[in-house]
Amino acid sequence: MTAIAEQVLKDALGLPPVDRAELIERLFQSFDSSMDRHVDTVWAAEIESRIEGYDQGQIAASPAADVLARINRR
């Protein structure tokens, strides 16, 4: 992190909690773009499709412990 960013962080940490929360929200919003919204919309449709497939028995599920074990073996 640059010296300027470090100073901003130091100053921000001195703010009251409500102001820090507002600052965080506004910083997060600064990353939002129309492309991100498009990607979010596409992912939401994909998620709904997968849930529907699971509910109809077309997609099988694995326990989280099994999935994490497979990931950890990589």
Q: In this structure, are 43 and 69 located in the same domain?
A: yes
Q: In this structure, are 26 and 51 located in the same domain?
A: no
CA distance 10 to 27: 16
Note down the domain range covering 47: 34-74
Q: In this structure, are 54 and 26 located in the same domain?
A: no
Express each pLDDT in 50-71 by its tens digit: 999 999 999 999 999 999 999 9
Task: Look at residue 74 in the predicted model and tell me its pLDDT.
Answer: 86
Give CA angle at 53 (55, 70), nearest 5°. Answer: 95
| Assigned token pair, 74 | 């990589």
CA distance 35 to 41: 10
What pTM does this model have? 0.46
Q: In this structure, are 66 and 40 located in the same domain?
A: yes
Task: Look at residue 37 in the predicted model and tell me its pLDDT.
Answer: 79
